[in-house]
Amino acid sequence: MKAYYSLFKMTLIKGLQYRISALAGVSTQFFFGFMFIMVYQAFYLSNPATQPISLRELILIVWLQQAFLVFIMLWFRDSEIINLITTGNIAYELCRPTDIYNFWFAKLIAQRLSRAILRCFPILLIAALLPFPYKFTLPDHLTTIILFFLTLILGLIIIVSISMLIYISMFYTMSPTGSLLMFSVLGEFFAGLTIPIPLMPDFLRNLTYMLPFRYAADLPFRIYAGNIKHDEAIISIGIQLFWILLLLTVGKLWLKKALNRIVIQGG
Amino acid sequence: MIEVTHLSKNFKVIKKVKGLRSSLRTFVNPQFSNIKALDDVSFKINEGEIVGYIGPNGAGKSTTIKIMSGILVPDSGSCQIMGVTPWKNRIEHVKNIGVVFGQRTQLWWDVPVIDSFYLLKDIYKITNRDFKHNLDLLTTTLDLSQILTTPVRQLSLGQRMRCEIGASLLHNPKILFLDEPTIGLDAVSKLAVRNFIKTINKEKKVTVILTTHDMNDIEALSNRIILVGKGKILMDGSLTELKNKFSTEKIITIDYTESNEVINITGSKILTRTKERISLSIDLNKIKVSEVINLISQKFEIKDISVENRPIDEIIIDLYKEYQV
């Protein structure tokens, strides 16, 4: 266990070194945040019918999505693991008394966490200073915040378990491009990052509720914004746990199978 | 300690042909060929041995190392290392071994070497006392003190290799697999690495299995060599045995005061000849070195003599030729 924690710590510290990258990330995310808000505002102004989610809630969601972008994006990839697989350096990884799945898992979580820590505070802080409709505010109840953090962390675990599947698929394809593209386009859509889930037609919304993606990128933020009530949130946590269990089991079994057939060429 | 019996491994490779048209044909109807990387390989290695595992490119050296370190699953055959089958009980097995693949790196690329070492300490659950002791030993014998705090990406190949070897020994492995450990090293680093391997073998009774193309490594380190070619074991024996078998020639170089006297000694062949120096290769089956010197001293006033064995590299080339690998 200590090994996984040490790797976690090392990756975290390493990730915290990249200040310039964080700064660039913060400004990009601000730009995107404003763009999304403008689009939604235009939509709400031109469409007087009541929507299942208010503009105010949507604005909160946009800021949170931007602040925790690295928690929810599937395209975010770890080139070190990709290199391990494609160059055959995984040979060394296999020579260590560790479970490779857990080892990579710890690393991927730490990576996303370190990036999020550097990015979320400046974004949320500045967003909190904006004038009213755009302003980022705290929710009314402490329970909301607790539920938000709980679902956010579980969501991070879901995203990393899905991305593990992308890496494992590389044992067969040797290239991250295909699965990464498939997963990130579909995943992003079904996570409600293209169209907010409350604004989707019924059949699509039902579909997203049956897939794991929204439990990472949609659920925590809508809980925070107050669009999802506490009792629904608690049920959703159960569903999150179910997905985590399923994804971890599938990932571990698949990796085991993949490792049995690998051939490390050269050298 | 290590027992390998009837190990076989085949690789299926798509036959690629030159040219666009044949490439298209391969695309539609790929032709596979089976490559026998290992073909019924058996050997036994005892504790404390240093074994040189040699053979030409593509002989199956690395494949054997990979199977023994639990990375690769063979098609058939068995391999018991300290009572464990590597690919079945991978995690238990790798606690006992250290591996260096000369062409790969096990250190984390953008953190200082010492951080990688500390991470390995936790991975292998090394106690503080052992860790400190090993780190001190490695730092002094491999001369690492200057480079421990440098990120790995800034190290030169030789510096990195010394750190790699250090990293693979932190956890007191009983067996050390070295796959081309001296590749790309300068003379000083090579010597340091060799001395180090000798030291740990003597002091800690570490069993070492070493593949290399540098025959000086073998000469300096191993008392036993296993020669493989085309996936088969061709020879298994001591270095002296090998030398005696194949080295039936010696080379004599003689300096003398200027002379144009004709030399013709049966059993010897003139390699080079100038007015003041001659180089002869002597077939020991036909004539003794002392006889040759005697004959020459009768005609010339000898100033200096040197007698050399044939370089081991040449012996190996002969060996490869004889077994047609």
What SS3 string covers B213-249?
Answer: CCHHHHHHHCCEEEEEECCEEEEEEEHHHHHHHHCCE
Instruction: Determine, for residues B125 and A267 on separate chains, whether the beta-carbon distance falls below 8 Å.
Output: no
Per-residue pLDDT averaged across A199-204, rounded?
A: 91
Q: What is the pLDDT of residue A266?
A: 52
Closest by CA position to A12, among listed A115, A104, A84: A115
Per-residue pLDDT averaged across B256-279, rounded?
A: 82
Separation in Å, CA of B71 to nearest CA in chain A: 6
Half-sphere exposure of A211 (CA within 13 A, CB side): 21
The three-state secondary structure class of A181 is helix
Asked whether the beta carbons of B292 and B265 are under 8 A apart, the reply is yes
Asked whether the beta carbons of B97 and B171 are under 8 A apart, the reply is no
Banded model confidence at residue B212, pLDDT cuts 50, 70, 90: confident
Q: What is the pLDDT of residue A92?
A: 84
Separation in Å, CA of B47 to nearest CA in chain A: 20
Report residue B233 as tokens. 């074991």
Q: Which one of B87, B89, B90, B125 makes the best mutation probe of the A interface by having the most chain A beta carbons within 10 Å?
A: B90
Instruction: Determine, for residues B125 and A99 on separate chains, whether the beta-carbon distance falls below 8 Å.
Output: no
Q: Please indicate if any CB of chain A lies within 8 Å of the CB of B131.
A: no
Q: Is B6 left (phi over 0), alpha (psi -120 to 50) or beta?
A: left
Q: Looking at beta carbons, which residues of chain B come within 8 Å of A92?
A: 99, 101, 104-106
A-to-B residue pairs, Cβ atoms closer than 8 angstroms: 78
Residue type present at position B2: I
Q: What is the pLDDT of residue B295?
A: 84
Instruction: Determine, for residues A95 and B105 on separate chains, whether the beta-carbon distance falls below 8 Å.
Output: no
> ipTM greater than 0.85, yes or no?
no
Phi, psi of B102 (to 5 degrees): -55, -25
Separation in Å, CA of B256 to nearest CA in chain A: 49
Q: Which residues of A touch B (CB under 8 A)?
A: 2-3, 5-7, 10, 14, 80, 87-89, 91-92, 94-99, 260-264, 266-267
Per-residue pLDDT averaged across A139-158, rounded?
A: 93
Instruction: Determine, for residues B105 and A88 on separate chains, whether the beta-carbon distance falls below 8 Å.
Output: no
In order of A134, A183, A228, A266, B59, the CA distances from A188 in angstroms are: 24, 8, 20, 38, 49
Q: What span, in angstroms and rounded, lies between the C-alpha atoms of B167 and B120? A: 8
- Render pLDDT for B24-83 as a digit per residue (tens, 0 to 9): 777 777 777 788 888 888 999 999 899 998 888 878 888 888 888 888 888 888 999 988
Instruction: Determine, for residues A267 and B104 on separate chains, whether the beta-carbon distance falls below 8 Å.
Output: yes
Q: Which of B70, B103, B108 is facing A94, going by the closest CB pair?
A: B70
Residue in this structure with the two tokens 């049995």, named with its chain if needed: A260
Per-residue pLDDT averaged across A118-123, rounded?
A: 88
Instruction: Determine, for residues B180 and A267 on separate chains, whether the beta-carbon distance falls below 8 Å.
Output: yes
Banded model confidence at residue A265, pLDDT cuts 50, 70, 90: low
Asked whether the beta carbons of B234 and B264 are under 8 A apart, the reply is no
Instruction: Determine, for residues A97 and B66 on separate chains, whether the beta-carbon distance falls below 8 Å.
Output: no
- Render pLDDT for A235-251 as a digit per residue (tens, 0 to 9): 999 999 999 999 999 99
Q: What is the pLDDT of residue A267?
A: 45
What SS3 string covers chain B?
Answer: CEEEEEEEEEEEEECCCCCHHHHHHHHHCCCEEEEEEEEEEEEEECCCCEEEEECCCCCCHHHHHHHHCCCCCCCEEEEEECCECCCCCHHHHHCCEEEEECCCCCCCCCCEHHHHHHHHHHHCCCCHHHHHHHHHHHHHHCCCCCCCCCEHHHCCHHHHHHHHHHHCCCCCCCEEEEECCCCCCCHHHHHHHHHHHHHHHHHHCCEEEEECCCHHHHHHHCCEEEEEECCEEEEEEEHHHHHHHHCCEEEEEEEECCCCCCCCCCCEEEEEECCCEEEEEEECCCCCHHHHHHHHHHHCCEEEEEEEECCHHHHHHHHHHHCCC
DSSP class of residue A130 equals S
Q: Looking at beta carbons, which residues of chain B come within 8 Å of A261?
A: 73
Q: Which residue of A has its CA nearest to B100?
A: A92
Instruction: Determine, for residues A97 and B108 on separate chains, whether the beta-carbon distance falls below 8 Å.
Output: no
Instruction: Determine, for residues A99 and B69 on separate chains, whether the beta-carbon distance falls below 8 Å.
Output: no
Residue type present at position A12: L
Q: What is the pLDDT of residue B88?
A: 84
Quick one: which H or E segment has residue A91? helix A90-94
Banded model confidence at residue A263, pLDDT cuts 50, 70, 90: low
Asked whether the beta carbons of B229 and B198 are under 8 A apart, the reply is no
Taking the CA atoms of residue B320, residue B227, residue B202 and residue B309 in that order, the dihedral angle to the nearest 10 degrees is: -30
E-assigned strand segments in A29-93: none
Q: Which of B99, B104, B106 is facing A88, going by the closest CB pair?
A: B104
Closest by CA position to B141, among listed B174, B114, B163, B117: B163
Q: Please indicate if any CB of chain A lies within 8 Å of the CB of B192.
A: no
Q: What span, in angstroms and rounded, lies between the C-alpha atoms of B142 and B164? A: 11
- Render pLDDT for B91-119 as a digit per residue (tens, 0 to 9): 888 888 999 887 788 888 788 899 889 98
CA B130 vs. chain centroid, Å, equals 29
Phi, psi of B39 (to 5 degrees): -130, 95
Q: Which residue of A has its CA nearest to B115?
A: A10
Average pLDDT, chain B: 84
Q: Please indicate if any CB of chain A lies within 8 Å of the CB of B111.
A: yes
Residue in this structure with the two tokens 């492995």, named with its chain if needed: B173
CA B28 vs. chain centroid, Å, equals 42
DSSP assignment of A233-254, as one string? HHHHHHHHHHHHHHHHHHHHHH
E-assigned strand segments in A19-160: none
Q: What is the pLDDT of residue B158?
A: 82
The three-state secondary structure class of A40 is helix
Per-residue pLDDT averaged across B238-253, rounded?
A: 78
Q: What span, in angstroms and rounded, lies between the C-alpha atoms of B255 and B274? A: 9
Per-residue pLDDT averaged across A73-97, rounded?
A: 83
Per-residue pLDDT averaged across B147-158, rounded?
A: 87
Q: Which of A14, A91, A260 is facing B104, going by the closest CB pair?
A: A91
Q: Which of A2, A91, A266 is facing B71, going by the closest CB pair?
A: A91
Q: Which of A10, A99, A262 is facing B119, going by the closest CB pair?
A: A10
Separation in Å, CA of A25 to nearest CA in chain B: 21
pTM of the model: 0.80
Report residue A59 as tokens. 């604005």
Separation in Å, CA of B120 to nearest CA in chain A: 8
Q: Which residue of A has its CA nearest to B58?
A: A266
Q: Please indicate if any CB of chain A lies within 8 Å of the CB of B44.
A: no
Separation in Å, CA of B271 to nearest CA in chain A: 38
